[in-house]
Structure 1
Amino acid sequence: MVVGEGKITLKSCYDRVESIESIYTGGKVVLSKAEDILCTASNEDINVIDTKTGKVKAQLKGDTESVTTFSIKPDGKHLVSASRSLQMTIWDMNTFKVTRSFKAHNAPVIVMDIDVTSTLVATGSADSSVNVWDITGGFCTHSLKGHSGVVTAVRFHPDMKAPRLVSGGDDGSIRIWNLNTRKCEAVLESHSSPVRGLDFTPDGRYLISAGRDSVIHIWDIRIKKLVRTIPVYEPLETVGVLKPDTKLFDSNESKDEHRLVLFSGGSQGIIRLWDFDTGKEIFKQTKEPNSKHACLDVLYAEESQQLVLITTDQNILFYDITNKFQKTRQIAGYNEEITDIKYIGPNKQHVIVATNSEQLRLYNLDNHNCELIYGHSDIILSLDVHELDNNTSLFVSGSKDNTAKVWLVDWKSKSNTRAICVAEAIGHTEAVGAVSLSCKTGCNFLVTGSQDRTVKVWDLSNAAKTQENAKMLKSPKKLIARYTTKAHDKDINSLTIAPNDKVFATGSQDKTAKLWSVSDGQFLGTFQGHRRGIWSVTFSPFDQILATTSGDKTIKLWSLNDFSCIKTLEGHTSSVLSSAFVTSGMQILSVGGDGLVKLWNIKDEECVLTLDEHEDKIWSLSVAGDGENFVTGGADSAIIVWKDTTEDNISRLHKEQADNILKEQALSNYLQAKDYRKAISLAISLDQPHRLLGIFMELINNPTNQNKEQDTDVSAQKLTRGELDSVLGSPDIDTVVKSLAPSHLTKLLGYVRNWNTNVKFSRVAQSVLYCILSSKSSEALLTIPEARELIVALSSYSKRHYVRVDRLLTESFIVDFTLQSMDNLGSVSEESQQ
């Protein structure tokens, strides 16, 4: 941060400004009818997410047992949830507080549905029963029994004039319940495995059911008969019906207003569409390469005409039905362990993230939209980014599938699939754990390091020529290695290319870092001194210095001229996993296995700031600019964005200092004018107990409202009996003390405790205590932080000091503060002193 010509201010303060954390750990997901909120299960809690911003609006705290299912009323006013504790809870969605909680079944509730009137909720349980509840009243209206196993699906009929409920079980049977007669009207038996999906056509005439027996059945509700079976050849988890007027793919045949279309999702992890009348497949999504997820559920957003796919790898994908199923939004519910993270894009509004999975995640930090990038077949370990221009970025990823892939991101594209694999490096025999792109304009080469202990330098010049026509590529271009060098005796954990593109450094588990020539791979020297493996290597952008971080809990700075260690920074309590230079190379940021972020001044080797927001080890950090912002990611699945607030902090301190100077002057003026009323409040605000003591001593020794000829003993006796008009020498001053805010009162009690330890000041201390206790009830004092401890400490001295507070303490304070008598107080004090 430059504050003047030639002057650089060292950073000293960073604040957490944004975070992306796990919001969905599997299970139920519900979209409100208004489509303004999305609710997801997160272990025992439920996250309420704003669909516009992608941020968590509220978290409904559970009862320590995992959530099994939940549903939102169509009017959006309440959410009903159930957990493994057998409790069913009703939440107010305006205040996000519990309105009612009760036991629902004798076994966990598995499925739930709310009727169109937002009045009733149906629950299907593992105890084979179906119950219907009045949501407002919280009582059971129907208890329906007949299933022989777990109830796996429930659905209200859309026409509640003749209320009916349909339920499906893991025995393959479907039961139709008449809620007026409380009896089962029919049992539909055709499925041979658990029924997972139930839905009705808009007119309520037909029931559509799907199960894990890989078929969709269509039933006529009026005659209770099966009218059509559609084989789908995959176990299904859900089925539904689109609105009749839905326009599909802008095709003429799909514009028939009377045509009904079904959607399904199952083990293939894709959405498929079916013609209701013919049973033919209308559309089938193309499965992403190397994707292994299955479908948990498909939500139908009628207003926006979208289908929302919920996958087994905790991703939530939005597709536009009317626009060839283009992906409009992606939400990554759970990031697993974050292995690497890098800023990307011209405005640093995005980060590319590698997690403990095969997919890359391109996050928009503004709205938390996440583009999933498929291509690797195993876990991704390392990343690097190069900005080609304001509209295009290049990045590389290294994976356990023994390859490195080069990706092009077109920021002008409005598609939600902007990253295209343009090249891949195949040649390593083990996992690629470190990658680095050349720094200069054009990005002509790539360096990769592997667990096979070799380093390869790859030519990117031909790949760069295809960047403009990347979208026309049928398959990624195969890169050619310029040379291969055996670099270390153990796994290579990190490598980085110098800003001038002439040399690169590698760090390994063999406890050494090495320097190499880019042009021919010539070995230039070894940086030796760490006692454990090296996790990262980083070049200073301004000096001939290399920083290394190690499992020995230290950061070492090395000279590139003679390979000597210049400085060692110690302070982390676990392995230091990554580092980055900031503030023109004068400071360094580091992250470690202790979950801490540390900021160091290189000149004096001092740690000036420690940030503790992560709950587990931090594997990676990435810096934007010269350290104005940085982002961290680690094993706790959290991505945290930090902002340099040093300038704001300095401005705040300057303002506080200026305010204190003005207050000091005002206090002096009040004391000179003997305006003690204002002086007392100001002295407490400025935390000046000595000047406050002087004010009280002046008032007590020179009272303005008492007979000055009375000796001290007489005044003390009257004070004890409560006969004086003023305790502190002036009624106005008494009023000031009695009306102090809780924070100021706590401060004052602390001062009084210290004064009370000195016999010379004990009279003042006990007078102030008397004034406080005589004006505050025990209940009021107990609400003040630290008041209990302070008053007990003060009272323990009253027996041997001048003014007694026996009369007050023998009332309700004896009970509230567990003080039996003044003698007991004295013994407590003696024990505490011993």
Structure 2
Amino acid sequence: MGSKLKTNFVVQTKFEPFYVAGKIEVSRDGHRIFTSSGNSVKVFNVENGVAEKTIQTEESDQISQFLLNPVNEHLITASRNLLVREWSWTDSTCLKTWKAVHHSPISCMAFDSTGELLATGSGDATIKIWHSVLKCHTHSFRGSSGVVSVLKFHPDAKRGLLVSTSDDYLIRIWNLNPAKLAAALEGHFSAVSDIQFADDGLHLISAGRDKVLILWSLSTSSQIKTVPVFEEIERFIVLPASSAFPEFNTPEGPFNVLTGGARGVLSVWDLKNGRNLHPGSLPSESDAAVADHKRIIQLHFDRPSRRLFVVTVDQSILLYDLPNLKPSHQFSGYNDEVFDVKFVGDDRFAVVATNSPRLKLYNVTTADCKFADGHTESVLCVAVFHQSNLVVTGSKDCDIRLWRFSESKGSLKCVASASGHTSTVGALACSNSSKHPFIVSGSEDSTMKIWTVQQDKSDKRDSFSLHCIHTEVAHDKGINSVALSPDDKWIASAGGDKTAKVWKKEPFGLKGVLRGHRKAVWCVVFAPHDQIIGTSSGDGTIKLWTVSDLRCIKTFEGHDCSVMKVAFLSRGLQLLSSGSDGLLKLWDVRKNICTKTFDEHDDKVWAVEVSQDESKVLTGAGDSTFLLWKDVTEQELDEERQKQDTLIQEEQELQNLLQKNEFAKAFRLALRLDQPGRLLNIISGMLETETGQMEIKVAVRALEDFQLEQLLQYIVIWNTNSRHTYPAQCTLNCVFTSILPKRLLGLPKIKTLVESLIPYTERHASRLDQLHVSSMTYKYLSNNVKKLSELPSKPTTQLPVNGNIPYPDSASMEAEEEMV
């Protein structure tokens, strides 16, 4: 672990909600999933597990349904305000908008195989058919009872058939040419949840919540076979007749279906013979709660990739590669509030505690998520024995559970559980030594317990047991955090009574109380190498204390709200803290200052976890997201070094160009180096040559728009100084005479730049006018003085002695005037 100070972290992966409820759509290549929530549709990439795009309508346009065109993959969205939009989802552009002629929001949509006809069903019991290219209404079918729930076109567009279901349990077959009801199929006794056409195009298959599958003949509009399936079926798919599935022993033909429903298992049925070829595993009574989480609500089969998408009621999406009915990927669409998150294994996996009894194990590189069931109420805290890959969890059910993490399988298995607390277990800490492992727990019942972890090595089932060896009423209010020193000799606890306490492990006893915070202490942590304790509180401060004399040595102020978590970095030289406002702050301990603030969360950050090599950080918050951060300190230093090396080389190149009087090349290089002073000198040197202005025009024409805008900004600065007026105005003249006005008007800041140029340019023009008038006056006076100096000199007239002054005669005066 290095001791260099960290300067920056960036978000490497963001695990955010992408599916809450409703239907999903899958792209034609099977690589992207489309989900809707509120007024937006999110595009989730199943290859890297990232929500890569969001298509958003206006805030008031809540999306009721959406659909992908099977031909051009344009996205169709229907809003509750009865507006239908067509989008190009690749660039989030709305292509067309039109008004639906329904009287209530659209409840279902379907495209025909050509992608030209779009059918919409609504709660007003009507079905409308639109031409997706012309955006015109072509058909209207009435006669359904209640909300139209399912629509399906016949795969052969020439047949012109549309099938629908509604609240009256009937299946209606509509003929498009002529527009009329062809048949109404009666056979289900509950809501029809799904309908599909068989591959031969001659038969129809339906499923409902009456726990039966029915095979229909389209030619006779009659039932052929009814198969009881003993569960409510939500969705099913017809297995391709051309593909063999020897694992299921499926017979040849178009009547093999795969179903998913209330039991949460996938079953394969042969409708022709009424056989269940793959019944799946039935949940036992003890697994009833788990079965509720696994209830299947949607299936989607991508035939080209033979990939099956399964959606369960707990917002999970599973990917199966047929014919193996084993999930290859599993994604959690929604996490609710993230209470705690910890690295496990080689830091490729993270254990996440959310507002759910199910513990989640994420592969942070692929976003695969697996669930671990055991707790009966929400899991609040997680701790890890890194040397033995054991995970400890505490919950609102007052229990503590021990889990074995398998890195090869990427799974968690509960190996022990213990009860003892009488209220919520919200704080856990694991010993650092593997010789005598133990756990420290803190609860809302104000007690702290120490548990020993013992393994039964004679039992091949990987059995452990937890034994409580000490119980202490540690605080006057609930315990929010517990921590162990690196040598396991000291225990620290933090509570809602505004104090933190230090305890000796053996023999157990209180060493002292850390007082100074004005509100509840949310977190306590030991420094990795020094005898220092860090605490964070609801009063917005972080304090450092010495273990030896329990003295507060530093206080960090900067958060404007409660500080939920704090962690040491860089061998104790830095701190990373999180606040209830969603901000993270990086602190320099020596300088006692905040060096960096990160704003990526929208709600209180409950969890901060630093990897063992400090190259990664995990944060979890109340905004249902957790983030994987990457330390980019070395990367930024390398980039800075490269920039400095490049700058030195370009500086040398600029000097060489100036020495060679290659001003045109030097012009472009000085602009790229962002050196306005050097560029001004270069322009002044170019203007001293006969071809200077022509070379400036050539250089200006070769500039990109951003460089041209940069040059105009320089001119604005030069123009404010009267000494630089001439090169500034000459350069401006070259810009205006060599660049088209249309291009200049397209610059983002051209208005501001021109407004900045006008006042000083007018002042310089006024000075030039004054100078011109003054020079003309000077010229006039100098010419007159010169002519006067050229007049012939006359002898000096002697005044008479009596004082009488002789006056010149009129002729001499006229002669002098003519000369003047």
What TM-score, normalized by structure 2, do the two folds share? 0.85
Equivalent residues of 1:105, 1:125 under 8 A apart: no
Cα-to-partner distance string for 1:191-210 (whole Å, 9 max, x where unaligned): 45543211233333443333
Which residue is equivalent to 2:298? 297
1:510 equivalent in structure 2: 497
Label 1:367 to 1:805 Cα distance change in 2 as closer, same or farther (>3 A).
Answer: farther
Determine whether 1:151 maps to 2:143.
no
Tell me if the contact between 2:251 and 2:270 (Cα under 8 Å) persists in the aligned partners.
no
Letter in 1 for 2:419: I
Q: 1:648 to 1:284 in 2, by over 3 A?
A: closer
> Which residue of 406, 409, 417 maps to 1:424?
417
Alpha-carbon separation, structure 1, partners of 2:386 and 2:34:
37
The structure-2 alpha-carbon separation of the partners of 1:697 and 1:300, relative to structure 1 and needing over 3 Å to count, comes to: closer
**For 1:233-632, what aligned pairs fall within 5 Å after superposition?**
236-243=233-240, 250=247, 254-258=249-253, 260-267=255-262, 269-272=264-267, 274-277=269-272, 283-287=279-283, 290-291=289-290, 292-293=292-293, 294-302=295-303, 307-319=308-320, 322-323=323-324, 325-346=325-346, 348-388=347-387, 393-413=389-409, 418-442=411-435, 444-462=437-455, 465=457, 469-470=461-462, 479-632=466-619
Question: Which is worse superposed, 26-35 or 89-98?
Answer: 89-98
The 8 Å contact of residues 152 and 194 in structure 1, kept in 2 or not, is answered as no
Give, in whole Å, the separation in 1 of the partners of 2:768 and 2:636: 46
**Structure 1 residue aligned with 2:690:** 704
Indicate the residue corresponding to 1:636 in structure 2.
623
Q: Structure 1 stretches of 5 or more lacking a match? A: 3-7, 706-728, 807-834
Q: CA 1:673–1:406 in structure 2 vs 1: closer, same or farther (change >3 Å)?
A: same
Stretches of structure 2 that go unaligned for 5 or more consecutive residues are: 770-820
* Alpha-carbon spacing, 1:804–1:617, altered in 2? closer, same or farther (3 Å): farther
1:53, distance to aligned residue in structure 2 (A):
2.9
TM alignment of 1:652-731, pairs within 5 A? 652-700=639-687, 702=688, 704=690, 729-731=692-694
Is residue 26 of structure 1 aligned with residue 21 of structure 2? yes
* 1:779-812 alpha-carbon deviations (Å, 9 max, x no partner): 3223323221111111133332227999xxxxxx
Asked if structure 2 preserves the Cα contact closer than 8 Å seen for 1:41 and 1:47, the reply is: yes
1:447 match: secondary structure: strand
What is the CA–CA distance in structure 2 between the aligned matches of 1:628 and 1:95, rounded to whole Å?
34
Question: Which letter maps to 1:787?
Answer: I
Cα gap change, 1:255/1:443 in structure 2, threshold over 3 Å: closer, same or farther? farther
Query: 3-state DSSP class of the match of 1:460?
Result: strand
Relative to structure 1, the CA distance from residue 33 to residue 751 in structure 2 (aligned partners, 3 Å threshold; closer, same or farther) is closer
Give the secondary structure class of the aligned counterpart of 2:542.
strand
How far apart are residue 90 of structure 1 and its match? Answer: 3.5
- The answer to whether the 8 Å contact 2:29/2:305 transfers is no
Partner of 1:17 in structure 2? Answer: 12
Show the counterpart of 1:47: 42
Using a 3 Å threshold, how does the CA distance of structure 1 residues 378 and 692 change in structure 2: closer, same or farther? same
Q: 1:780 aligns with which of 743, 747, 751?
A: 743
Question: For 2:397, what is the secondary structure of its paired residue?
Answer: coil
Counterpart-to-counterpart distance in 2, 1:262 and 1:406: 41
| 1:149-188 pair list within 5 angstroms | 149-188=146-185
C-alpha distance in 1, partners of 2:188/2:205? 12
Asked whether the 8 Å contact 2:406–2:412 carries over to 1, the reply is yes
2:733 aligns with: 770
Q: 1:694: Cα distance to partner?
A: 3.4
Quick one: distance in 1 between partners of 2:455 and 2:644?
61
The 2-side partners of 1:462 and 1:395 are apart by 14
User: Pick from 793, 796, 803: which aligns with 2:759?
Assistant: 796
Match for 2:394: what amino acid? G
Tell me, in whole angstroms, the C-alpha distance in 2 between the residues paired with 1:54 and 1:443. Answer: 39
CA RMSD of aligned residues (A): 3.0
Report what 2:801 is aligned to. Answer: none
Q: Please give the per-residue CA displacement for 1:346-402, whole angstroms capped at 9, x wherever unaligned.
A: 2x111111112222211112211111222222111111112245xxx2111111111
Question: How far 1:245 moved relative to its partner?
Answer: 7.7
Aligned-residue offset at 1:460:
0.9
The alpha-carbon deviation at position 603 of structure 1 amounts to 1.4
SS, match of residue 763 in structure 2: coil
CA contact (8 A) 1:290 1:377 kept: no
For residue 407 of structure 1, give the secondary structure of its aligned residue in structure 2. strand
2-side partners of 1:221 and 1:27: how far apart?
30
**After the TM superposition, which residues 72-221 of structure 1 pair with which residues of structure 2 at under 5 Å, given as runs?**
72-75=68-71, 77-92=73-88, 97-106=93-102, 107-191=104-188, 193-213=190-210, 215-221=212-218
Letter aligned with residue 479 of structure 1: L
Residues 1:225 and 2:218 are matched in the alignment: no
1:677 partner SS = helix
Secondary structure of the 2:455 match is helix
- Rounded to whole Å, the distance in 2 between the matches of 1:159 and 1:682 is 65
- Distance in structure 2 (CA, Å) of the matches to 1:58 and 1:759: 52
CA distance in 1, matches of 2:30, 2:220: 36
Greater CA drift, 212-221 or 578-587 = 212-221
- In structure 2, what is the Cα distance between the partners aligned to 1:522 and 1:232? 64
Where do residues 797-812 of structure 1 align in structure 2 (5 Å cutoff)? 797-802=760-765
AA at the equivalent of 2:312: T
1:424 CA displacement = 0.9
Matched, 1:38 2:37: no
The structure-2 alpha-carbon separation of the partners of 1:255 and 1:369, relative to structure 1 and needing over 3 Å to count, comes to same
AA at the equivalent of 2:756: A
The equivalent residue for 1:741 is 704
C-alpha contact (below 8 Å) 2:523/2:537 kept by paired residues: yes
Distance in 2 separating the partners of 1:561 and 1:231 = 74
Supply the AA of the counterpart residue of 2:593. E
Going from structure 1 to structure 2, the CA distance change for 1:658 and 1:462 (only over 3 Å counts) comes to closer
Q: Is 1:207–1:219's contact at 8 Å kept on the other side of the alignment?
A: yes
Distance 1:303 1:378, change over 3 A: farther
Deviation of residue 230 (structure 1)?
Answer: 5.0
Check whether the contact 1:13–1:644 (CA below 8 A) recurs between aligned residues.
yes
> Structure 1 residues 443 and 319 mapped into 2: Cα distance closer, same or farther (>3 Å)?
farther
Rg bigger for which structure? 2
Residues of 1 paired with 2:440 and 2:289: CA distance? 25
Contact in 1 for aligned 2:493/2:501 (Cα 8 Å) = yes
Tell me the CA shift for residue 169 of structure 1.
1.0
Deviations 1:184-231 (A, max 9, x none): 111224445543211233333443333445554443333223455555
Query: Counterpart amino acid of 1:618?
Result: V
